[in-house]
Structures are given as structure tokens and as C-alpha cells.
């Protein structure tokens, strides 16, 4: 059936109004029922299928009489029907529209849900048209218009208008629902972000407090140990001097751990400054620093050229410094040792690999590698605080990257980093 020009204008106008409302979910529902009711000179009810997939929930209702509108909304709020039951439930279940041009009140009662039957006493319905709201993902609900006596009954032209409106309305409702969920998700995310920021603030405060509280007695221990060493070393026997040296070494070790803990906590608060980073040049610079620090070491280094990532150069310098330092440290028993830096593109990211031929590690302990203060080798053999790889992991994750490692005892190790390009 051809839709009259007047109805075509109605469809365009309703579509325009819904589009202007954008993602305001409830506003879309209420404006839709009002526009449809006014243009079809009747009352309108919009029911959406609930999350359980079987209940029909009245979400908005419009009545042409302002005095009766509140009563209609109150009544709709008390009624609940199910898909497959009653007049609108059958429309939702079958996906087929329903037009009843002239209504005999008594047979209609049998078609309606019990709560809606009571409405006939307040609203004497003369005709009803009901159409499904459907998208590609399935049914959304039902849009129903009714007229009351003595108004003329609805006809097939009204049905076609409502069907055309329903096609546009279903898309508008689906989009508004998506925007509404996105808005709720963003609100929840903002709340979690605020909570995380507070937690980070508290963590940083805690780290500083702990470091201050630990440093005071630690400095006392170091001071008294120095006095003993300077003024009473000759009085102590070999056992006493050995114990004193152990105290001094333990105090220094604790000081290193405090500094490492503070450095690790600061990484979460460092504001990233994004820029292209010449990873190859940075690795050459770090390698030169290691050669100056360990002039007696024989290390053959190969670094791929043209490696570029996008990130914070200061943090990436720290991360790469830890990786190269570890490669040098854990290959110290080899003369010469070999350290290789390889890189290629992997899914739009720089896949960087730092490879050494050192002591390696047992893959059974791989999960411990990037945890703070976890060591796979004795400190007497390989000194350090145990936070280097944890620092690398935290920096890389702040760049939305990831880390990995493979190795075998006595066969070296490969540490992998994926960084944005």
C-alpha cells in the first residue's frame, strides 16, 4: 500500500526528531511515543523486551488528554505482559503487526494481559494497531497506538505509517541504548579511574612514609657500624670483624631495596611524554655506558639499525637500560659474551628482542621474572635488587605494550618487548 504524502512527512519528521535526540535513551523513548500518538491522534504505548528475553516492560506512554496522561502512565507502570501472551505479546513473539479497526470490548479482554484489562474501564478503546520493533540483532519490543470512543477507528494507512516509523524507531532505540550503555560504562570507568588515582596517591604516600621510617633507623645502624669499624676494629677479633662487615653489607642492601621500591612506585606517577624514539641509537648509547662501567669485560654486541618506537624516551631509556644491563650481568661468566638486539614490526608494533648467551633460566619459573623482588639466581653470583624486570614490565605496560621471556639453564635468555610504533 502506498503511504500518503502526509504520512511520508510524518515519518521524516519523526526520524529527524529522533536523530536530534542522539544518545539520550529515555528521551528517545518518550519523544517517540508522544510523536506517534499525536500524529495518529491517539494514545501510544512503547514496550521493550526485558533482559530476560520474555517480559515486556512498558517504558513510555502518551495520552492526548493531559489529565488522563498521568493515569495512563501509572497504569502502564503497573502492568507487565510476556512475549507470546496477550495482544502485544503476540506481536512481539510473531514479529507480525496487528490491526483491529473496530473493537468489541468483551473479546478484547480475552486478548489482553490481566493488568491491561482493567484499563478498559478507564480508557474505552475503539481500535488498536500494534507493530514490532526489530533490528538485525532481533526483536526490541512493541509500539502500540489506540484510539478511544468516539474517535474513528485506525485503518491500514495508519498501520503502514506505524510500521515505517517502527523501522526508523528501532534503529534509533538500539543506538540510544548503545550510547546509554557506553555512557554508563564511561561513568563506571571514570569512577574506577578516580579510585585508582586515590589508591596510587595512597601507595606513593605509603612508599615515602615507609622509606622515611625505615631510613631513620637504617642510618643509625650504618652510623654505629661506621663508629665500630673506625674506632674499635682493632679490639674486635676476626669473628667480630666478620659480623660487622655483614651488618654493613646488610644495611647497604636494605638502602638499595628502599631506593628500588621508591623508583618502582614513581613509575606509576610519571606523566608520559609521547614522541618517536630511536631505539637503535638509545641501545648503542646504553651499551657504550656499560662498556665504560665494565672496561675489563669482553662483550660482542649487535644492534639492529632503524628500530623506532613511540613512547616516553626517559622511561624507555630506563627499561632498555635494565634489559641490556641484565644481558651483560648474566653473561659475565662468558669471555667473550654475546648480546644481540633484534627488532621487527609485528601487528603495527615494534617487537624488540634482547638476547644473551648467559646463564639463562628455567622456564618453570618464568612467571616470577617480572615480579618485584623475585630472584632466580643467588645475589652473591649476580648482584641486584630484583626489581629491574618488574620496572621493565611496568614501563612497557604503561605504553600499552607487553613483555615476554624465554630461556634455558646455561643456554642464555631472550627478553621480548612489544612497543607502539
CA distances from 220 to 202, 210, 216, 234, 282 (A): 27, 16, 6, 22, 40
For domain 190-266, give the CATH number.
Answer: 1.10.287.130
Q: Name which of 108-112, 223-227, 298-302, 337-341 the model is least confident about.
A: 108-112
User: Do the beta carbons of residue 128 and residue 144 sit within 8 Å?
Assistant: yes
- Reply yes or no on whether the pLDDT at 354 is more than 80: yes
The pLDDT assigned to 158 comes to 85
Q: In whole angstroms, what is the distance from residue 346 CA to residue 296 CA?
A: 37
Three cell numbers, residue 150 = 468516539
Alpha helices in 95-155 (DSSP H): 105-111, 114-117, 119-122
Q: Mean of the per-residue pLDDT values for the chain?
A: 81
Reported as a single tens digit per residue, the pLDDT across 66-124 is 777 766 666 665 566 788 887 788 888 888 998 988 876 666 556 555 555 555 566 67
For range 15-19, the mean pLDDT: 65
Report pLDDT for 236: 87
40-44, 136-140, 178-182, 397-401: which has the minimum mean pLDDT?
178-182
Fold of 275-420: Heat Shock Protein 90 (3.30.565)
- Beta-ladder partners of 278: 308
DSSP calls for 164-229: HHHHHHHHHHHHHHHHHHHHHHHHHHHHHHHHHHHHHHHHHHHHHHHHHHHHHHHHHHHHHHHHHH
Q: What is the mean pLDDT of residues 167-180?
A: 79
* Domain 5-185, architecture per CATH: 2-Layer Sandwich (3.30)
Question: Residue 173: is its pLDDT beyond 50?
Answer: yes
Residue 1: the pLDDT is 45
Cell readout for 225 is 657500624
What is the SS3 assignment for 295?
Answer: coil
- pLDDT the model gives residue 384: 62
- Predicted pLDDT at 111: 58
Q: Please give the average per-residue pLDDT across 267-279, as a whole number.
A: 83
| Domain-wise residue ranges, the chain | 5-185, 190-266, 275-420
Amino acid at each position: 500500500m502506498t503511504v500518503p504524502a502526509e504520512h511520508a512527512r510524518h515519518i521524516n519528521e519523526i526520524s529527524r526528531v529522533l536523530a536530534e535526540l542522539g544518545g539520550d535513551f529515555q528521551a528517545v523513548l518518550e519523544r517517540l511515543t508522544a510523536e506517534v500518538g499525536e500524529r495518529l491522534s491517539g494514545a501510544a504505548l512503547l514496550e521493550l523486551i526485558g533482559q530476560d528475553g520474555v517480559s515486556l516492560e512498558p517504558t513510555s506512554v502518551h495520552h492526548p488528554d493531559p489529565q488522563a496522561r498521568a493515569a495512563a502512565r501509572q497504569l502502564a507502570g503497573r502492568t507487565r505482559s510476556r512475549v507470546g501472551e496477550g495482544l502485544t505479546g503476540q506481536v512481539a513473539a510473531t514479529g507480525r503487526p496487528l490491526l483491529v479497526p473496530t473493537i468489541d470490548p468483551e473479546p478484547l479482554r480475552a486478548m489482553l494481559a490481566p493488568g491491561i484489562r482493567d484499563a478498559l474501564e478507564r480508557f474505552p478503546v475503539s481500535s488498536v494497531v500494534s507493530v514490532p520493533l526489530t533490528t538485525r540483532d532481533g526483536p526490541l519490543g512493541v509500539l502500540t497506538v489506540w484510539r478511544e470512543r468516539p474517535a474513528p477507528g485506525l485503518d491500514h494507512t495508519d498501520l503502514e505509517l506505524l510500521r515505517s516509523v517502527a523501522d526508523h524507531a528501532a534503529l534509533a532505540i538500539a543506538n540510544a541504548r548503545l550510547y546509554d550503555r557506553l555512557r554508563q560504562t564511561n561513568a563506571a570507568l571514570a569512577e574506577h579511574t578516580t579510585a585508582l588515582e586515590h589508591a596510587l596517591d595512597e601507595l606513593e604516600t605509603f612508599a615515602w612514609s615507609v622509606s622515611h621510617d625505615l631510613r631513620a633507623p637504617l642510618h643509625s645502624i650504618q652510623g654505629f657500624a661506621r663508629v665500630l669499624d673506625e674506632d674499635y676494629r682493632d679490639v674486635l677479633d676476626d669473628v667480630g670483624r666478620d659480623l660487622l662487615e655483614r651488618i654493613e653489607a646488610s644495611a647497604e642492601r636494605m638502602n638499595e631495596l628502599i631506593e628500588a621500591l621508591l623508583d618502582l612506585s614513581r613509575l606509576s606517577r610519571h606523566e608520559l611524554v609521547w614522541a618517536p624514539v630511536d631505539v637503535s641509537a638509545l641501545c648503542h648509547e646504553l651499551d657504550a655506558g656499560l662498556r665504560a662501567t665494565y672496561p675489563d669485560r669482553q662483550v660482542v654486541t649487535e644492534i639492529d639499525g632503524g628500530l623506532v618506537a613511540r613512547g616516553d624516551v626517559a622511561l624507555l631509556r630506563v627499561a632498555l637500560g635494565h634489559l641490556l644491563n641484565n644481558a651483560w650481568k648474566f653473561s659475565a661468566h662468558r669471555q667473550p659474551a654475546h648480546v644481540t638486539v633484534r627488532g621487527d614490526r609485528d601487528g603495527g608494533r615494534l617487537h624488540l628482542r634482547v638476547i644473551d648467551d648467559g646463564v639463562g633460566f628455567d622456564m618453570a619459573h618464568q612467571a616470577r621474572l617480572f615480579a618485584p623482588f623475585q630472584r632466580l639466581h643467588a645475589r652473591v653470583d649476580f648482584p641486584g635488587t630484583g626489581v629491574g624486570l618488574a620496572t621493565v614490565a611496568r614501563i612497557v605496560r604503561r605504553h600499552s605494550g607487553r613483555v615476554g621471556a624465554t630461556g634455558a639453564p646455561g643456554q642464555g635468555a631472550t627478553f621480548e618487548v612489544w612497543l607502539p610504533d
